[in-house]
Structure 1
């Protein structure tokens, strides 16, 4: 499909958004709206002996105060997304806590008032009698046996996830060399520019509930709300307006607020709105990352990796709303691009008194890559060789694809790498880095007292999770193509990439294609935006729907041009008779053919095309098609990073970063670059700046951007970005997802670079993120 696909086309949606014409949730104002505020727990673990809300109910402007007791059966456990046999004791949150709170920030009381200020004033009048309990904050607390997040769950174990390939324990026992590492990655969070938010309106005359939700999955929210609130689907519409970032934080089904705000609108027959402030985001939005690994690697004298095992703890917080997805993805993605015949992972999913965990960009993959790449660095150090040599010796060859990892993903599908060229991608990265030239600079710098370091990492990214997405394509009366999809955008560029795909199929400019997210209404045809799936699933659905629409366009044009449809071709928004350029009709003329109008300056009206040729069926210039897949497709890449570390301050400066990335066929290089670079800058934040911390009593100590430092444009280093395209054989467009790729290997690559820079100090990097003070402290202990 030459033309639009593959073109570095500016994003169609950017002009509106950059001019401040976006419509985010808090920009939507409905007449008569009330505003909600939530009283949240100030204890990490406590029994609730009593709740007194009478003062709040009498406060000025208050229209509704709800406790869990007021909700009755509605206050049951919220849905569990992704049930799995590995879940031994799944617990999900209730909309409002009744007799126990399990993390600071858990909602206890909902107050609805005429404005947010009055609701917050009324919240000060709520009195809650707490009986504090011993807190489970760290993994050691969870394992000690005398502290419990849920009293009926021994050891605080929610699940155990494990798989094995080959016989790693026997190989480790007999291997020429083995080594073990203890490794940690700390908690972090998505921090989208726009927090969560919900606005709901119940119209008693039309008996219709309309919900606006800053969510990545309005279809799932609509279906769930219909069941929970007992509102028929045909009387319920859920839509995601412009969403100011998601990164997985807004994928949840459900947060308590997403149930309670619509419920309050039903109760009051008035619009009810809630928008999350930044403090609420830090204490009550879902988080991710926290894991501790005990990993072992077996290898031979040539650096061939013979076996790997990891036993790890995964911090799931107080509840497990998203099943085992994150720890299972860690386990299945840990071997990455390396051909390791013998492998085992076993992860304990542990409850703690912290906010619940659900996927955050990368979703378990950064942890797995960090472990695998730290093992490779340790192997290279033991053998006295360069880490890149160990990596290259263990890469899966191109001849091995499709490559069956022997592992099962958390949705029960098989982890089979569909395509790739890992050696070529790695060699491109090496060429861009220039290892030998860097080593010369490094030696010269050390002679001057400066410490430069080189780090690398590779990864795979399972993308395109099913089961399906759909697209409805229509040719409207102005000759524009309208695409309705169910994957809302949070910055991914759907309006551009889907337009490019449809434009090439139909034969028009991408600017003539308009993409609409009809995600939460009766025309919903899919699931949502998560798991790097939109381009794979919706992109192929768009191509199928556009092809079906093109067939109908040609059928209609054949009547107008009085020829057979197979003699026609489309180009530049027109349909031509092949070999007769002057015999043509525009898409606009075709669209108006069912309603003939004589336009000024034309000789005759457009002929009436009321029936399909050879049929009594009316002309329908629209088509709906679906793309279904039960098999993930795997993107991949290799990163290289050059850093300088100041031993006096511990500051890390990134001098250059290299990314070689493979997402199959590239629809729009500009959009892919944006996704990869966006992930990269988030990865830098996760490696050097961002860490959620908690006091011993479970109180969060990072509750604003004053002590949780996001990366800025100043943290983006000089960058070399290179694309490698190995089309996937498992979808017609040959594409793979790319939304999470950029973040996955960043912490691992930077860790190796820091360790390399500080090799004279024998400074091992075993945890991420790593702050300057920690580097300085470690150097003080190991001065050469």
Structure 2
């Protein structure tokens, strides 16, 4: 079929989005809506004294000023942390309250203290400037390792030494034995730098109250830019002490999420509260600077890793000790990301008999840290691939050979890792060999020589990766066929720009034979879609697509009975393919459209409606190999990524064009983290020093190299479509590949490691230091 599974067709939603037909949250306006502005802390840590809102309330158009006292008076609850984990000793981790407005203390710059609601946005913002808050400034702590030092300020009294949890997994005794008996132990300490998601569309919400019977207030509703409405609905209901059915959550088009829009935020709760109190709609949208100081951040780990090897360079054991910065408050899944989400993937693509991971989560006076594209797997892959690359250099085996010797072979599949995962399929060695060919690694020496003649340092780096995807629980899809033959798909995922609409239409074209123009895809409405798990972890099309495929199969089964009646034959003699029901062995046939018209009695109404909820039996495991090539200007430290090659195994590919777009976007984000992006706080005042695009560098088009992509598709065995997921792979493979390339370029100077981001200043400083050492020797 021309619009089925495997076709590289353009996205059907693009015509609407590119011609201004998109409807994002800030495009939503409800009748009579007011506007919110937040009074935010200018301090990283301070006690809150009095809050004087009298001047603000006196301003024309101001409707209300709320503080945490108003929320407490209405028994508004806390924003929950939903991570479930136990510490090493079996005790619970330190759970801290997170009210929508600060209570008693502000704990990071940007912490919301009060909310002003006014008739216009300008009036709300001007009045917010007039709210006088009496702060008693305190010493703060922002550094990840600094937080654990004795005598540092405590973000929470309930967390001595700022320790939220001390967690571990794996076999410590086996790893220590491997390290003690190893032929060689390779060590590396590295930083996974804190980043800001910075989606094109910032966070926003419009909360309102529906009209009830006889003019009484009805349900609460909220339009919110999100990655899934159903989880938010349950949180809002619990926080506001309302039944789920009393809150409707809607998400329209979303301009990027990257994990950051999975979570509940104080502003959403505050706007719902204000709407309920005022019985009118309240709208809020963050500007870019507000996003920098209030969005959840990503990454921010400091790790020490030790790898035990035998005399042949084969891995015997791996120990990783990580300190993970959680920020001042625990976001919805904050503790989960550096623990269960990432640590299980520290086996990578390799046969490592024993692995032990210990993670300490710490509180600091910074924004909360939670999932960011890849959510723990990029952190794990960066650590592992940098360590293995370093081991290849130390042993003399080189980056490719040390990996070859340690890959899990296809013959070992399904492979149970020592961290509890079972890899079902994958050919990691083939990915590597194809990646080396695609990158023309055989020609690298000549390119290095040519670069040296131009005064440049050239290097290439590779990274292999594997990640666990398709988690987050089951997904639900309802496939509805109307009497006119048009199909409505209602599904619990939420597109953030990945092209769900197109991918789902392709699956329906494959299973029902319907053209894309006859399909409507409905997401992001708790009224129209009764249940869903949302989007994250590359789960939407593997899990959601499997649910809709099952729903489509139910439609075919129900429609076969009607088709048999129309064809005057037994159901067992009717076959379905390409949108037509045929009597086996004859040319007698009717279309799905004709069958639907019959079932709906003349074409009006719904002919068939079938719901399927599909639960993945296990994770899927996308994997691949990235090869980056860079040139470094030793006079300035400027790095140019001149070549980039990708080999990926995503299993069955619904649309290669969508997949390649996801790879490009992920590589861009990985390049940004590797070379440019870093959140910086002043260590003394706790002020955010990188709070705008003037100080926080994002990758631009000119920074991106050409990207060559090859797909090695080994279908997954854990879902009916054979898919593995593609959304996060680029952001996982790019950081280690690029940093490995930079280290390769600098290796002749004796430089063995450089932390992300490898900015021109950092590289220039490393080169000058190396030259000084070489001169002294």
Counterpart residue number, 1:123? 128
Determine helix, strand or coil for the equivalent of 2:458: strand
Aligned with residue 708 of structure 1, among 696, 699, 709: 696
Aligned with residue 241 of structure 2, among 212, 230, 241: 230
Q: Choose 180-189 or 222-231, whichever is displaced more.
A: 222-231
1:650-692 deviation digits (Å, cap 9, x = unpaired)? 1111111011111111111111111111101111111111111
Determine helix, strand or coil for the equivalent of 1:159: strand
Offset of residue 765 of structure 1: 2.4
1:260 partnered with 2:270 = yes
Counterpart residue number, 2:254? 243
1:170 partnered with 2:177 = yes
Counterpart residue number, 1:38? 38
1:153 partnered with 2:164 = no
Aligned with residue 377 of structure 1, among 377, 389, 400: 389
Closer, same or farther in 2 for the Cα pair 1:492/1:134, shift >3 Å? same
Q: Check whether the contact 2:574–2:582 (CA below 8 A) recurs between aligned residues.
A: yes
Gaps of at least 5 residues in structure 2 are none
Counterpart residue number, 2:377? 365
Closer, same or farther in 2 for the Cα pair 1:74/1:631, shift >3 Å? farther
Counterpart residue number, 2:656? 669
1:283 partnered with 2:296 = no
Offset of residue 370 of structure 1: 1.8
Offset of residue 3 of structure 1: 6.6
Counterpart residue number, 1:563? 569
Determine helix, strand or coil for the equivalent of 1:634: coil
Give the TM-score normalised by the residue count of structure 2: 0.94
Determine helix, strand or coil for the equivalent of 2:260: coil
Counterpart residue number, 1:350? 362
Offset of residue 760 of structure 1: 2.1
Offset of residue 448 of structure 1: 4.7
Q: Check whether the contact 1:377–1:387 (CA below 8 A) recurs between aligned residues.
A: yes
Counterpart residue number, 1:743? 731
Offset of residue 440 of structure 1: 2.8
Matches within 5 A, 1:741-780: 741-780=729-768
Offset of residue 335 of structure 1: 2.3
- 2 CA distance for matches of 1:373 and 1:572? 46
1:84-115 deviation digits (Å, cap 9, x = unpaired)? 22352122421111211110011110111011
Counterpart residue number, 1:4? 4
1:139 partnered with 2:127 = no
- 2 CA distance for matches of 1:306 and 1:232? 54
- 2 CA distance for matches of 1:669 and 1:242? 23
- 2 CA distance for matches of 1:33 and 1:338? 56
Matches within 5 A, 1:289-300: 289-300=299-310
Offset of residue 574 of structure 1: 3.3
Closer, same or farther in 2 for the Cα pair 1:444/1:385, shift >3 Å? farther
1:616-652 deviation digits (Å, cap 9, x = unpaired)? xxx9511001101352211111100111111011111
Matches within 5 A, 1:581-600: 581=587, 583-594=588-599, 596-597=601-602
Q: Check whether the contact 2:354–2:418 (CA below 8 A) recurs between aligned residues.
A: no
Determine helix, strand or coil for the equivalent of 1:388: helix
Q: Choose 298-307 or 674-683, whichever is displaced more.
A: 298-307
Offset of residue 712 of structure 1: 2.0
Offset of residue 523 of structure 1: 3.5
- 1 CA distance for matches of 2:754 and 2:261? 31
Counterpart residue number, 1:195? 202
Offset of residue 526 of structure 1: 1.4
Offset of residue 67 of structure 1: 0.5
- 2 CA distance for matches of 1:140 and 1:220? 33
Determine helix, strand or coil for the equivalent of 2:468: strand
Determine helix, strand or coil for the equivalent of 1:201: strand
Q: Check whether the contact 2:483–2:599 (CA below 8 A) recurs between aligned residues.
A: no
Offset of residue 323 of structure 1: 4.2
Aligned with residue 411 of structure 2, among 399, 403, 414: 399
Q: Check whether the contact 1:495–1:515 (CA below 8 A) recurs between aligned residues.
A: yes
Matches within 5 A, 1:592-671: 592-594=597-599, 596-597=601-602, 621-671=608-658
1:3-32 deviation digits (Å, cap 9, x = unpaired)? 711111211111111111000011111221
- 2 CA distance for matches of 1:446 and 1:218? 55
Q: Check whether the contact 1:519–1:526 (CA below 8 A) recurs between aligned residues.
A: no
Aligned with residue 578 of structure 1, among 577, 584, 592: 584
Counterpart residue number, 1:410? none
- 2 CA distance for matches of 1:716 and 1:684? 8
Matches within 5 A, 1:448-463: 448-463=454-469
Counterpart residue number, 1:495? 501
Offset of residue 709 of structure 1: 1.6
Closer, same or farther in 2 for the Cα pair 1:486/1:737, shift >3 Å? same
Counterpart residue number, 1:680? 667
Q: When the two structures are aligned, how many residues end up with a matched partner?
A: 758
- 1 CA distance for matches of 2:736 and 2:769? 23
Q: Check whether the contact 1:508–1:574 (CA below 8 A) recurs between aligned residues.
A: no
- 1 CA distance for matches of 2:144 and 2:243? 44
Q: Choose 461-470 or 316-325, whichever is displaced more.
A: 316-325
Offset of residue 222 of structure 1: 1.2
Determine helix, strand or coil for the equivalent of 1:547: helix
Counterpart residue number, 1:423? 429
Offset of residue 224 of structure 1: 1.8
Q: Choose 378-387 or 213-222, whichever is displaced more.
A: 378-387
Counterpart residue number, 2:687? 699
- 2 CA distance for matches of 1:33 and 1:103? 30
1:318 partnered with 2:331 = no
Q: Check whether the contact 1:555–1:565 (CA below 8 A) recurs between aligned residues.
A: yes
Counterpart residue number, 1:603? none
Closer, same or farther in 2 for the Cα pair 1:301/1:406, shift >3 Å? closer
Offset of residue 716 of structure 1: 2.0
1:515 partnered with 2:521 = yes
Aligned-pair RMSD on alpha carbons?
A: 1.9
Gaps of at least 5 residues in structure 1 are 408-413, 598-605, 611-618
- 1 CA distance for matches of 2:472 and 2:188? 36
Q: Check whether the contact 1:475–1:621 (CA below 8 A) recurs between aligned residues.
A: yes
1:90 partnered with 2:95 = yes
Offset of residue 468 of structure 1: 0.6
Counterpart residue number, 2:29? 29
Determine helix, strand or coil for the equivalent of 1:406: coil
Offset of residue 34 of structure 1: 0.3
Determine helix, strand or coil for the equivalent of 1:51: strand
Offset of residue 334 of structure 1: 2.0
Counterpart residue number, 1:600? none
